[in-house]
Structure 1
Amino acid sequence: MEHKEGISRRAFLKTAAAVGAALTIQPTMNKVQAANAAINGDDNRNMQKGNSLPHRTLGSGKAAFEVSALGFGVMGMTYNRSQHPDKKACVRLLHEAVERGVTLFDTAIIYGPITNEELAGEALSEFKGKINVTTKFGHEVIDGKATGRQDSRPAIIRRYCEDSLRRLRLDSLPMFYQHRYDRNTPIEEVASTIADLMKEGKVQHWGVCELSAESIRKAHAVCPLTAVQSEYHLMHRLVEENGVLDTCRELGIGFVPYSPINRGFLGGELNEYTQFDPNNDNRNTLPRFTPEAMRANYRIVNALQRFGRERGMTSAQLALGWLLQKAPWIVPIPGTTKLSHLEENLRTLDFSLTPEEWQELENMVSAIPVMGDRYNAEQQKQVGG
């Protein structure tokens, strides 16, 4: 019964969000018609195909990169998120995201490995010049299999770059991230290699993932960074404490939070009874996703749902909106395999809360202890540096 209750709450909140948006954002439209359109799924206010989304700029100066205010994380369409739709359905959803104005799509060589880049290339190459597909190197992949090691030697970066260009069907990578720090290759050497690839026209912008503030400074000094990508959401705020966000602000580097809804948890659809595919879901290995931890942490979801109910917003929209209001150079990249969730995520951009309301939400969530680390010991070794 508990699981069914959660689903009904979710359905209620999604309807409330649509109605709330219709009533508050279109004052010139007949409010009864607006509410009915939202409930019946006929509202074409912002989800109408061909509409653009607000844009933001990652990076500054020559490293500046203009993208939609919300991006799309492609990873879960093939990797680490249990069951997923077939390829045709994934391609269709990616096209829907483009039609709704998303211009930033995120993938990586390690996702699959390789299959995620292949999907992104097949689905999105026809929109070349209109959207940007970013990818990542660093995790070692040999014969299509991950070894668990990092390798960012210059020759390897060049090979990965050529392979990604081929799979993504591009002449130049819009942005190439170092996925994880390679302790055997100085970050300055990585930055220098990327600078050479930029001169050759094979890479346009570059970024780093889960890197320390000190290493970000070293990398940026050699080749200006456009973005830093790290996990950041209401249940994991380490980048506020370790100097990463402050460094980005100081140096004019954009920030791209991955897992902005905490791998789906803050959306309210996961609970202690959720079964993850042991063969294709890393949440099985994360201490924060044990049944005991999810049962304890669901208090945070309940708090978000209560807060959102008064404002016509879902818990997922609050999670995304909280990130967006933190700084104008932050661009979250939520992923999904469902059209309803894509539209729900994008409608976050329709809402506006006061700074006092966001602070109230933050204080409320901060008062609830989070059970479980985000990574196990082995995965934690791969971050930082």
Structure 2
Amino acid sequence: MTVQTVTTLGGTASGVKVGKVAHGLMMMTWVPTPVPDEIAFEAIRASADSMPPGVKILLNSGEFYAQDFGTANLELLARFYERYPEYVDRTFLSVKGGINAAKHGPDASPEALRRSVTNILAALRGTKKLDLFECARVDSDYTVEHTIGILKGFVEEGLFDHIGMSECSAESLRKGNAVHPIAAVEIEISPWSMEPETKQVLSTAEELGIAVVAYSPLGRGFLTGQIKSLDDIPENDMRRRFTRFRDPEIFKQNLTLVDALKAIAERKGITPAQLCIAWVGSLGTKVIPLPGSSNAKRTIENTTAADYVLTPEESAEIGKIIDSYEVKGDRYFGLDPKAMHLWG
């Protein structure tokens, strides 16, 4: 098998070459104490520097990536680009928005979407073009066609270049793409987050030539094997609210999955994190794992996971583990998926 370290996005961005592993920036600022600029900047530079010539690193940010739902993440990026303008053309910036902070839910009204995009651009201060905008969730109060139609108008205005979708169903992805070509769809994929709808989105995206940006490929750090108990997670960390972390019995049971994956990684001579990233990336030529990192060394470990190819036997073994193990707990807060606006 051939190592695939570079891919392209889809839709109107089908000519954009990006690394097979992206870089998530959320936890640089969505923490009680944001990461110092110098450390964050070093991690961002490391991800871009790991790309071959002419290939961009996909950076994933959000309008609301802060504990106060503010624009701290984007402001961090603005400071980065002001300090290192040579990285502007070496990065592809994808930003999620369209969230109503007051109700902690999506808002796809025309006024809210324009306000969101305007807020993002203001936070970036003209340092970097907004390459791709995506609504973080599908707003059930509006049709997908309505939402993508508004975003299409924003593209025509020159506010950003490409449209993405996030946490949407396969049906919604198809509907959105019919209005305007979708460059990428962002969904959660990992060995402990492989739902039936995940597979449907993967197959639909492949059919339509849309890139899949797979967030949390490491199960929010759980699958790395570094988290042994809830005590290993900092106070006020959002993961303490998730059932897979906060419930001691569920936590203990899910370690069985971690141990099984760790055994395969050890045989292959790579870390469990690299194994998970390589597995997610193997799900399709345009499937781009999106691990998050605020540390340059860890960032390089993540991006170089694209260098590892799983043998058919290894892939089959991982697939058997996933199929035979029922992951305990849900992906978020113990709520009905519709309450979290998942698979909209």
Regarding TM over 0.5, the answer is yes
**Aligned with 2:89 (options 129, 133, 147):** 129
Q: Residue 169 and residue 215 in structure 1: after superposition, are their counterparts in 2 closer, same or farther (change >3 A)?
A: same
Distance 1:334 1:318 in 2: 12
SS of the residue aligned with 2:306?
helix
Deviation at 1:56, TM superposition (A): 0.8
5 Å matches for 1:330-345? Answer: 330-345=287-302
Partner of 2:332: 375
Which letter does structure 2 place at the counterpart of 1:98?
A
Q: Which residue identity does 1:74 align to in structure 2?
A: L
Percent of pairs with identical residues: 30
In structure 2, the CA distance between the partners of 1:166 and 1:246, relative to structure 1 (3 Å rule), is same
Q: Is the 8 A contact 1:57 1:67 kept in 2?
A: yes
- Which residue of the other structure, out of 265, 274, 279, is the alignment partner of 1:317? 274
> Of 182, 186, 205, which aligns to 1:229?
186
- Following superposition, the deviation at residue 76 of structure 1 comes to 0.7
CA RMSD of aligned residues (A): 2.2
Residue of structure 2 aligned with 1:205, choices 132, 146, 162: 162
Match of 2:59 in 1: 105
Query: How far apart, in 2, do the equivalents of 1:133 and 1:356 lie?
Result: 36
One-letter identity of the residue aligned with 1:133: L
Structure 1 equivalent of residue 38 of structure 2: 88
> What amino acid maps onto 2:62 in structure 1?
A
1:162 counterpart letter in structure 2: T
**1:184-223 aligned within 5 A:** 184-223=141-180
What's the offset of the Cα at 1:299? 1.4
Distance 1:218 1:373, change over 3 A: same
Deviation per CA, 1:236-267, whole angstroms, max 9, x where unpaired? 11155562112111211110111110001111
Aligned residue in 1 for 2:122? 166
CA contact 1:56–1:329 (8 Å) conserved in 2: yes
Deviation at 1:278? 4.4
Q: Quickly say closer, same or farther: Cα 1:267–1:192, change in 2 above 3 A.
A: same
Residues in 2 aligned to 1:369 and 1:259: alpha-carbon distance in whole angstroms = 18
Aligned partner of 1:152 in structure 2 is 108
The Cα offsets for residues 190-228 of structure 1, whole Å up to 9 and x where unpaired, read as: 111111111122211111111112211111111111111
- Contact 1:63–1:205 at 8 Å: present in 2 too? no
**Corresponding residue SS for 1:85:** coil
SS in 1 for 2:48: helix
Work out whether residues 190 and 217 of structure 2, in 8 Å CA contact, stay in contact via their aligned partners in 1: yes
One-letter amino acid of the counterpart of residue 342, structure 2: V
1:271-323 per-position Cα deviation (integer Å, ceiling 9, x unaligned): 224343443x2211111112322211111121122111111111101100001
TM-score w.r.t. the length of structure 1 is 0.79
Q: Count how many residue pairs are aligned between Structure 1 and Structure 2.
A: 328
Q: Please say which structure displays the higher CA radius of gyration.
A: 1
Instruction: Point out where structure 1 has 5 or more consecutive residues left out of the alignment.
Output: 1-52
C-alpha distance in 2 between matches for 1:243 and 1:63: 21
What amino acid maps onto 2:9 in structure 1? L
In structure 2, what is the equivalent of residue 140 of structure 1?
A: 100
1:315-372 per-position Cα deviation (integer Å, ceiling 9, x unaligned): 1011000011110000111111222311221221222222222111221343233121
Question: Post-superposition shift, 1:379?
Answer: 7.2
SS at the partner of 1:310? helix
**Mean alpha-carbon deviation: is it higher for 357-366 or for 108-117?**
357-366
SS of equivalent to 1:116: helix
Query: 1 CA distance for matches of 2:93 and 2:336?
Result: 26
Tell me the secondary structure at the aligned position of residue 128 of structure 1: helix
* Displacement after TM superposition at 1:155 (Å): 2.3
Q: CA offsets per residue over residues 90-131 of structure 1, 9 Å max, x none?
A: 122222222222611001112112111111222145222221
Letter in 2 for 1:111: Y
Gaps of 5+ in 2: none
Query: What's the counterpart of residue 23 of structure 2?
Result: 72
Distance 1:210 1:260 in 2: 14
